[in-house]
Amino acid sequence: MTPRATPLPRDHFLTPLWQTPFHPRIATLSQTQQWYAWAGYQAAQVIRDAEQEYFAIRNAASLFDITPMVKYRIEGPDAEAFCDRLTVRDVTKLKAGRVQYTCWCDDEGKVLDDGTLFRFSPTEFRLCCQERHLNWLLDSAIGFEVEIAEVTEEIAGLSLQGPTSFAVLNAAGFAGLDTMKPFDIRRVAVAGLEVTISRTGFTGDLGYELFVAPGEALALWDLLVEAGCRHGITAIGYAALNLARLEAGFIVANADFVTAETAIRADRRRSPYEIGLGRLVALDKQRHFNGRRALAREAATGASRYCLVGLDIDGNVPADHALVYHRGRREVGHITAGAWSPTTKRNIAIASLERPYGDTVTDDLWVEIYAMRELAYQKLMVRARIVDRPFFVHPRRTATPPGTM
């Protein structure tokens, strides 16, 4: 008798990366076979051509698989009180049918993660983020009448972004979405599918995120692709999305800042004020929240050690991960994300600088870039100017009703 191999558990170190419910369609389209690991899933870095995929975001419609995004269901009579205790924003102001961008901290006021909080009803929430935090959430829930469960594998998600995204949904039979405002949520039935749709995204453009049960994922993909064939719909990978999010001025956990639980060195952790999220901190809300005392002290004393700024850099050589200097001599920070922006025709970047640089000292900044020139690296010292984020802004992102181009 031939011995049968015992299947390995999904968290075994020899287990290959998981595949999302949309993987059969994406793998068929992939011409590059460029994949990366996202939260234990196999995800596309580039499907056909990164530049073509980027222009689909800005000029037509793009389709990106967001299934690996970590998702938690938070439900119960104390769900609002728990979320208000957990996050820095005032959750009592979040109405049912709305989404709130937020972050949450440890007791020292250092950011554990950022993400989106969906409120479906007075007692039902969904928290979406980059890292896994189930143990932290469960420990934080002691004393609250609330149930918390990770539902990442139970929900398949697609991000549909771009100026024709509303037209695609309209052609696919999604009725009544013309009244949806940014950060609105709807639960709709279309073509036999139960879809949760939010007017959210990570591109700074008109866009939506759609969530279905895994068994309905391929039917949703096919529905959108068929409806979008006349509207330039294109499946994209993370390379294109990353450029669009940089133009929009959005930050990524463990790219633009290190999450508190994953930081090896204590000085790598950042507070909301140090990564440009100070505007979210509701020190005046009634309930206490994790890190409140530390954040109140930091706000009162101006004790923030770092700041995250947007940079406009001379030339067209991307400055990703380059060092930033004051007067070309003193090292004051580094670039966390940088690229040449095709839409704005600017060399843009997000940088983490040590205060007072980027705060009260904003002039005479330089970036050290090493550019490949005929198989040899050439050191470039180029000027950089602090500018407001986002780098890309378009009225269609918030227009209600959206355009149907």
User: Distance between CA 247 and CA 261 in Å, rounded?
Assistant: 28
- The helix-helix angle for 50-59 and 238-247 (nearest 10°) equals 50
Q: Are 318 and 340 in contact (CB under 8 A)?
A: yes
Neighbouring C-beta atoms of residue 374, cutoff 10 Å:
5
Q: Are 259 and 131 in contact (CB under 8 A)?
A: yes
β-bridge pairing 98-105 and 111-121: antiparallel
User: Distance between CA 27 and CA 39 in Å, rounded?
Assistant: 18
DSSP 15-57: SPPB--TTHHHHHHH-SS-EEEEETTEEEEEESS-HHHHHHHH
- Is 145 marked as binding a ligand? no
Structure tokens at 317: 């050589």
Length of the chain: 405
Residue type for 131, please? E
Neighbouring C-beta atoms of residue 397, cutoff 10 Å:
20
**Residue 148 β-bridge partners:** 74
User: Distance between CA 96 and CA 99 in Å, rounded?
Assistant: 9
Q: In what order do the strands lie in the sheet with 185-190?
A: 185-190, 193-198, 207-212, 156-161, 61-65, 233-235
Q: Which residues are annotated as a binding site for substrate?
A: 209
Binding residues: 209
